[in-house]
């Protein structure tokens, strides 16, 4: 046990825990599930690699690890089965001058904005306005916001007139002549996706038409880099143009003669899944796009002066010779087979955590808008959608194949950092046992916190509010060892003693569930032991006292 002076007690709850920065700049531009803090990823890459060395992320997701590898002058291989993932990564890295972006935007605006504005006309007497927000309750239009000018102070809130309602009735899904998503969802009630619904049901017919018109105009842009950047802005804004934008009600009423006696409301956002609230906003599509464009322009302006270059490779040999970026849209278990043995200097990845996030299902809206072909069959995931046959057995099989490939391509004596978070016993035990079988030595167990603006955080009392970063070193020769699964019957006293030790070292003698689990995992793994999470939770509930979601010793 550590020797801790009474007058200088260390905060054990922060042991080996990395603090996350909020997403800023390019990392704040596009939503993606389970994004990792860029500052922590950068620290790991610079710690375990040198300039010009190869960093691999076989589940690159939002592209943060790949972007950080490139801007710190490493070479990077990013693999992901999700087409939108590879697309987002490319757009994060591409450098385009602000002048080029502005010129293309002005041309796009002149071509399509007035057409979109026509869809949102609000007539009041002899005057015409452009509606900005339309509030719906149980599929009935109940409130309209419009402006006399661009200033926020001129916002007018009004009840819909018969003419407003007639305008709405002019729009229908069937009459849209441009491309829009026509695919049905996989039925998965966990993410509010239902098999009898289409992706286009997430949008009002008017907003669907406006989005289809906008994307059609973007598709006509000749410069491929500019076109893809604007498609990136489109997909980053499309969720806010959907019915999934909820209403935030505040106490009080709006003030001002123009706004009558309306209850104060604010605009929420699309967060995760496909939940359509009973009260939702229909927001002017051009406004959604323009807001995202302004943020993108600012971030890209800063990025343009960064001292890095992107030289894309089409295969590993090109990457090794004179390129620095290889992006592969393919299942990891297959794509890794094309990478030579012992050729990668460092691997950092955040694989799918069982059934925590069904990435391809959550990305259907983006992928269908951009007409991407999606390989659902080979995704490494546990899905509650019975249509997909993605069960635990399939998940373990494909993940284990991928882990074997990861170790094969890693150079001896180099490091592999695995980011993982799950509350499922079976998932954890499979992972730990598989890592134990491979030619790896445990180097360090650490944790990372989520960014303050992370889309997905597990806020349950028993949730793991941090992710583990388990770093292994590839050994020169095969290591033979047995993993000791500690069961509650035989390991109860061991766990109780360890928890008591942690509580005695905590500043106020109390720790949250996730802090205790972090400390236990770290200590047990270093001794080649593991214990079920459910058993640890039972011990906490029976042998310790819970006070406002913090555990302490019983009186």
DSSP letters, 32-72, are -TTPPPHHHHHHHHHHH--TT-EEEETT-TTSHHHHHHHHT
Could you give the angle at which helices 224-238 and 205-219 cross, rounded to 10 degrees? 170
Question: For residue 51, how many C-alpha atoms fall within 13 Å in the half-sphere facing its CB?
Answer: 2
In whole angstroms, give the CA distance from residue 352 to residue 109: 39
387-426 core/surface letters (b: 16 or more CB in 10 A; e: else): ebebeeebbbebbbbbbebbbbbbbeebbbbbbbbbbbee
Model confidence at 460, pLDDT cuts 50, 70, 90, reads very low
Other CB atoms within 10 A of residue 141 CB: 17
| pLDDT of 327 higher than 80 | yes
Q: Do domains 12-82+306-481 and 483-555 have the same CATH topology?
A: no
| pLDDT of 489 higher than 90 | no
Please state the pTM of the whole predicted model: 0.92
What does the pLDDT read at residue 148? 72
Whether domain 483-555 has CATH 2.60.40: the reply is no
Share of residues in the chain with pLDDT > 90 (%): 76
Please provide the average confidence, as pLDDT, over all residues in the chain.
Answer: 91
Predicted confidence (pLDDT) per residue in 499-535, tens digit: 999 999 998 899 999 899 889 988 999 898 999 989 9
Predicted confidence (pLDDT) per residue in 249-269, tens digit: 876 666 554 666 788 889 999
Domain 12-82+306-481 falls in which CATH fold? Rossmann fold (3.40.50)
Model confidence at 405, pLDDT cuts 50, 70, 90, reads very high
Q: What residue segments make up the domains of the chain, in order of their start?
A: 12-82+306-481, 98-303, 483-555
Predicted confidence (pLDDT) per residue in 76-126, tens digit: 999 999 999 999 999 999 999 999 999 999 999 999 999 999 999 999 999
In whole angstroms, give the CA distance from residue 318 to residue 328: 14
Average pLDDT, integer, range 292-298 = 97
In whole angstroms, give the CA distance from residue 34 to residue 467: 10
């Amino acid at each position: 046990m550590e020797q801790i002076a009474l007058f200088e007690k260390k905060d054990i709850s922060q042991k080996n825990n990395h603090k996350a920065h909020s997403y800023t700049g390019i990392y704040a531009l596009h939503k993606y599930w389970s994004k990792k803090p860029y500052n922590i990823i950068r620290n790991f890459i610079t710690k375990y690699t040198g300039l010009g060395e190869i960093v691999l992320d076989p589940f690159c997701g939002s592209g943060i690890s790949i972007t950080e590898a490139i801007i710190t002058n490493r070479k990077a291989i990013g693999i992901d089965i999700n087409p939108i993932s590879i697309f987002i990564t490319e757009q994060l890295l591409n450098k385009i001058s602000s002048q080029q972006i502005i010129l293309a935007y002005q041309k796009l605006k002149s071509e399509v904005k007035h057409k979109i504005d026509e869809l949102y006309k609000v007539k009041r007497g002899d005057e015409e306005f452009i509606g900005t927000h339309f509030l719906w309750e149980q599929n009935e239009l109940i409130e309209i916001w419009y402006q006399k000018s661009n200033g926020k102070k001129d916002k007018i809130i009004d009840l819909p007139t018969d003419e407003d309602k007639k305008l709405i009735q002019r729009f229908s899904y069937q009459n849209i002549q441009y491309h829009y998503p026509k695919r049905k969802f996989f039925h998965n009630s966990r993410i509010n996706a239902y098999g009898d619904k289409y992706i286009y049901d997430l949008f009002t017919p008017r907003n669907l038409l406006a989005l289809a018109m906008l994307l059609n105009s973007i598709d006509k842009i000749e410069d491929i880099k500019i076109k893809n950047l604007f498609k990136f802005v489109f997909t980053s804004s499309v969720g806010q143009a959907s019915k999934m934008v909820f209403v935030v009600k505040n106490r009080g009423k709006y003030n001002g003669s123009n706004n009558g006696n309306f209850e104060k409301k604010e605009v929420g956002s699309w967060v995760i899944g496909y939940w359509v609230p009973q009260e939702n906003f229909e927001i002017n599509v051009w406004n959604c796009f323009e807001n995202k464009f302004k943020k993108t322009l600012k971030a890209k302006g800063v990025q343009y002066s960064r001292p890095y270059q992107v030289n894309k490779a089409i295969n590993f040999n090109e990457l090794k010779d004179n390129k620095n970026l290889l992006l592969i849209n393919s299942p990891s278990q297959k794509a890794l087979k094309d990478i030579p043995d012992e050729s990668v200097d460092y691997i950092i990845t955040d694989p799918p955590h069982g059934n925590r996030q069904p990435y391809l299902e959550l990305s259907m809206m983006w992928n269908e808008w951009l007409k991407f072909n999606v390989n659902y069959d080979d995704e490494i995931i546990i899905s509650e959608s019975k249509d997909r046959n993605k069960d635990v057995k399939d998940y373990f099989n494909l993940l284990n194949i991928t882990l074997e490939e990861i170790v094969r391509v890693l150079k001896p004596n180099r490091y592999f950092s695995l980011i993982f978070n799950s509350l499922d016993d079976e998932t954890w035990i499979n992972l730990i046992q598989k890592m134990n079988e491979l030619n790896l030595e445990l180097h360090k167990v650490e944790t990372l916190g989520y960014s303050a603006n992370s889309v997905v955080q597990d806020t349950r009392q028993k949730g793991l509010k941090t992710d583990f970063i388990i770093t292994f070193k590839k050994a020169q020769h095969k290591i033979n060892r047995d993993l000791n699964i500690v069961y509650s019957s035989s390991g109860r006293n061991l766990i109780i003693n360890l928890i008591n030790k942690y509580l005695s070292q905590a500043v106020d003698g109390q720790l949250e569930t996730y802090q205790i689990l972090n400390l236990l995992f770290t200590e047990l793994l270093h001794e080649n032991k593991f214990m079920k999470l459910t058993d640890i939770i039972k011990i906490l509930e029976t042998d310790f006292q819970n006070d406002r979601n913090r555990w302490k010793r019983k009186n």
